Amino acid sequence: GGAGPPPIQDGEFTFLLPAGRKQCFYQSAPANASLETEYQVIGGAGLDVDFTLESPQGVLLVSESRKADGVHTVEPTEAGDYKLCFDNSFSTISEKLVFFELIFDSLQDDEEVEGWAEAVEPEEMLDVKMEDIKESIETMRTRLERSIQMLTLLRAFEARDRNLQEGNLERVNFWSAVNVAVLLLVAVLQVCTLKRFFQDKRPVPT
């Protein structure tokens, strides 16, 4: 399988996986951080795909077969490139539309927060403690990140449900057209049969 462009950190990516193909992506990570990956098959027959996740040392961390979705977290991470592969080799006809999201948390974020706190910390103690402010900001940041993740997940569910509904609508329209065609054919045959019954087969006198 080929390797596509690496997805942006803390972002989502949607791609079309052809039938009988395998697609791999790479995510760089420093040591002692957290990397969470979540994927969903939102289009294609069966809504399933094979998924593997390998460490920078080539160790197989996750291996799933014929799954519609999955969530996996690596913590702490190793320094290097993690390899995420989606395999549709088992399907010879149907291509799959796959959505996945990478949530990357580095310990450097906490250091930046601490550096910001030290820069703005007043020389004299105020009534509101700086530690309480930092804790509130960190809690708000965590909740906002989780809200973004949930909204992204809901969008993926909505896209998968919409694809299913559109597929069902196409099948309903097709079979409805077939039924109408059969009814029309039966009606024509019945009319022709009745005409034959009432035809006067006596020879016309000359």
Q: For the whole prediction, is pTM greater than 0.75?
A: no
Look at residues 64, 76, 12, 5 and name the one whose alpha carbon lies nearest to residue 38.
12
Radius of gyration of the chain from Cα atoms? 30
CATH classification code of 9-105: 2.60.120.680
Q: Is 36 helix (H, G, I), strand (E, B) or coil?
A: strand
Q: What are the residue ranges spanned by the domains of the chain? A: 9-105, 126-169
> Quick one: pLDDT at residue 21?
93
Residue 111 has pLDDT above 80, yes or no: no
> Quick one: pLDDT at residue 143?
72
Look at residues 37, 45, 24, 26 and name the one whose alpha carbon lies nearest to residue 87.
24
Which amino acid, 141? R
| Predicted confidence band of residue 194 (pLDDT cuts 50, 70, 90) | confident
Q: What is the mean pLDDT of residues 140-157?
A: 73
158 within 8 A of 164, measured Cβ to Cβ: no
Look at residues 32, 34, 13, 33 and name the one whose alpha carbon lies nearest to residue 24.
13
Average pLDDT, the chain: 78
> Percentage of the chain surpassing pLDDT 70?
78
> Quick one: pLDDT at residue 7?
44
> Quick one: pLDDT at residue 8?
41
35 within 8 A of 78, measured Cβ to Cβ: no
Residue 52 has pLDDT above 90, yes or no: yes
Q: Alpha-carbon distance 49 to 24, whole Å?
A: 13
Q: What is the mean pLDDT of residues 175-192?
A: 87
Higher-pLDDT residue of 122, 166: 166
